[in-house]
Amino acid sequence: MTRISTNVKEFHIISNGKMPIEQLREILIDIHPYVTSIHLREKQKTARELFQAVELLSTDIPLSKIIINDRVDVALITRVSGVQLAYHSLDPVFIKNAFPKLKVGSSIHSYHDGEKALQDGADYVLFGHVYPSHSKPGKTPKGIEELSKVSRLNIPVIAIGGITPENTKQVIQAGAKGIAVMSGVLDSSDPLCAVKAYVHALTEGAGEK
């Protein structure tokens, strides 16, 4: 089985908050060997529901691959690898000072945001949306040039928003450390096939043979 290796760029999967956790689990069981991180972005769920979701997923998915959106408390209690902070979340500096071992990502939309995330001690940033995205209708994408600029900061940049296997190589060559995908995999009729297409594109983008 071909799996994503350590010298291939990062591949993050973001949950869409629309499907039952049981359904998400079935997809993740198949695809998790090919991805580096799985974000639980379940804005409508309570802390208890998120805790239960992690409990369910952890029977088949390594906790080291799971990242919780926003909820630092749930991330700590469940001992997942990290937390993804949004614009309304606490600043990374507070989290890193209190819990230095917790991996902290910061969602950003500009070079200035990236500078602040770097100063605040974030471990990486999620930058987007790079291309037109169904989840951001009517909003102008940031584009590949802005991604290239942000990627020059001394912090790993994960690109998100409209990422497809066809444009993944361009994203990586612009300097991104990796990609984050939601609908491109979870809305696919064949998520495993979709993931393999992304992994192939990431390998090409990283210049591997």
Long-range CB contacts (< 8 A, 24+ apart) of 123-126? Answer: 123/82, 123/155, 123/156, 124/155, 124/156, 124/157, 124/158, 124/177, 125/150, 125/153, 125/155, 125/156, 125/157, 125/158, 126/12, 126/84, 126/158, 126/160, 126/180
Q: What is the DSSP letter of 139?
A: P
∠ CA 73-77-82, rounded to 5°: 70
Among 12, 109, 129, 200, the active-site one is 129
In angstroms, what CA-CA distances link 192 with 2, 134, 187?
Answer: 12, 21, 11
Q: 3-state SS of 185-207?
A: HHCCCCHHHHHHHHHHHHHHHCC
Catalytic-residue membership of 109 = no
Report the alpha-carbon distance of residue 23 to residue 19 in Å, rounded: 6
Separation of first and last alpha carbons in the chain:
17
Report the alpha-carbon distance of residue 177 to residue 152 in Å, rounded: 11
Residues labelled catalytic: 129
